Amino acid sequence: MKLITSIDIFIQHCEYERGLAEYSLKAYKLDLKQFCIHCYKIKKDISIKEIDRSVIRSYLKYLYSLYKPKSIKRKIASLKSFLSFNEQEDYIEVNPFNKLRLKLEKEKLLPRVISREDLELILKAVYNNYRLKLESHKSISESIRDIAILELLFSSGMRVSELCSLKFEDVDLPSGQVKVSGKGKRERVIPICGKEVLNSLRLYIKEYSPWLERDKSFFLNRDKHGMSTQSVRLLIKKYCYLAGITTNITPHMFRHTVATLLLENGVDIRNIQCLLGHSSLSVTEIYTHVSQSSQREILKNKHPRKEFLKGVNRR
């Protein structure tokens, strides 16, 4: 069996038997396509049975020359899963990873958060854009939608993929909550309590009601189809530009920022875990490091002891 054929069979297995989410499927496809291209440089139309340790070592060398440990680890995980499947299905006799000893030190990168100043500037920009269009009698539909998206991202801490996957029936404003389908198709309910976000969602529903259907996408693009994650990224980029922010701000940074600010305000980490939909508390604990670094900065620059020192120096 050709390698490309075995990859197609594995992707079908992931989609229809394992029921993986679209984001996970996309990652598998990209990683295995990259592996396939590398293997075809070794031998055109290579078969799955010809994938041995020498091929794996060659591919690892290639990855190490291009990527950081975090990316390498993910690509190796995709390849391991693919080869394990082929071993289980008897397409290969032995998984070539079985006796390979790999030690990858994952980089300990703290989540990037949005500063309070930049967050305020972004929100001001989206509301100012709405007012300007209102005053100039231009269409305000997209501005209303943009406000609802940014307010919901910031209030809920949901992933951008979760936001784009929301259905109209998932948004229950009378009860003040949204139902989110997260990683591994785990559902959770997020309370929506802020006056601003509730008002923005009500206004959005009123504006888009002719096109909203119960089991269809909640957030719609200009063609009245579901918003894509890329569209949300471009939306944020637009308002950063209008706000004069040069820092690269991504949708996921809203999630990091919500978690960090909640922790700094004394919210229990287990509540934050539930809000974010983390399967393990250890994933959420990374925000304690962000909070500690923030606290260090506060103690260093804003501790009242500095005022006492000024008084001592004046004597």
Spans of all domains in the chain: 3-88, 116-300
Residue bearing tokens 């009860």 = 175
Among the listed residues 26, 14, 184, the one whose alpha carbon sits nearest the alpha carbon of residue 86: 14
Candidate from 103-117, 150-164, 206-220, 224-238 with smallest mean pLDDT: 103-117
Sheet of 177-181, strand order: 171-172, 177-181, 187-191
Q: Quote the pLDDT of residue 185.
A: 73
User: Does the pLDDT at position 262 exceed 60?
Assistant: yes
Amino acid in position 234: L
The model's confidence at residue 299, banded by pLDDT at 50, 70 and 90, is very low
Among the listed residues 184, 2, 13, the one whose alpha carbon sits nearest the alpha carbon of residue 82: 13
Q: Quote the pLDDT of residue 125.
A: 96
Candidate from 106-110, 242-246, 305-309 with smallest mean pLDDT: 305-309
Among the listed residues 150, 133, 142, the one whose alpha carbon sits nearest the alpha carbon of residue 237: 150
Residue 41 structure tokens: 């440089």
Separation CA 268–CA 286 (nearest Å): 14
CA-to-CA separations, 15 to 2, 63, 192, in angstroms, rounded:
20, 26, 32
Q: Quote the pLDDT of residue 285.
A: 66
Arithmetic mean of pLDDT, 238-266: 89
User: Does the pLDDT at position 27 exceed 80?
Assistant: yes
User: Does the pLDDT at position 244 exceed 70?
Assistant: yes
**Nearest 5°: CA angle at 250, between 206 and 293?**
120
Separation CA 234–CA 250 (nearest Å): 9
User: Does the pLDDT at position 294 exceed 70?
Assistant: no
Q: Quote the pLDDT of residue 255.
A: 87
CA-to-CA separations, 309 to 296, 298, 300, 306, in angstroms, rounded:
19, 17, 13, 5
Residue 129 structure tokens: 């854009």
User: Does the pLDDT at position 275 exceed 90?
Assistant: no
Arithmetic mean of pLDDT, 222-238: 95
Separation CA 143–CA 158 (nearest Å): 21
Q: What is the pLDDT of residues 76-98, one digit of tens each?
A: 999 999 999 999 999 998 898 88
Length of the chain (residues) = 315
Fold of 116-300: hpI Integrase; Chain A (1.10.443)
Strand partners for 2: 47
Q: Quote the pLDDT of residue 268.
A: 77
Q: What is the pLDDT of residues 121-169, one digit of tens each?
A: 999 999 999 999 999 988 999 999 999 999 999 988 888 999 999 999 9
Element (H, E) at 178: strand 177-181
Residue 100 structure tokens: 């390979």
Q: Quote the pLDDT of residue 315.
A: 47
Give the rounded percent of residues in the chain with a pLDDT score beyond 90: 52
**Nearest 5°: CA angle at 116, between 110 and 120?**
135
DSSP letter (8 states) at residue 48: G
Q: Which are the catalytic amino acids?
A: 159, 183, 252, 255, 278, 287
Residue 103 structure tokens: 């030690």
Find the distance separating the first CA and the last CA of the chain, reported in whole Å.
Answer: 86
Cβ partners under 8 Å of residue 110, min gap 6? 286, 289, 290, 293
Q: Quote the pLDDT of residue 212.
A: 96
Give the rounded percent of residues in the chain with a pLDDT score beyond 70: 85
User: Does the pLDDT at position 300 exceed 90?
Assistant: no
Candidate from 26-35, 109-118, 269-278 with smallest mean pLDDT: 269-278
Candidate from 45-49, 88-92, 140-144, 262-266 with smallest mean pLDDT: 262-266
Q: Which residue has the higher pLDDT, 266 or 84?
A: 84
Separation CA 219–CA 226 (nearest Å): 6
Cβ pair 143, 133 in contact under 8 A: yes
Strand partners for 177: 172, 191
Cβ pair 269, 285 in contact under 8 A: yes
Q: Which residue has the higher pLDDT, 29 or 20?
A: 29
Cβ pair 244, 153 in contact under 8 A: no
Cβ pair 111, 286 in contact under 8 A: yes
Q: Quote the pLDDT of residue 10.
A: 95
Arithmetic mean of pLDDT, 215-228: 95
Separation CA 88–CA 69 (nearest Å): 28
CA-to-CA separations, 116 to 113, 120, 121, 234, in angstroms, rounded:
9, 6, 9, 21
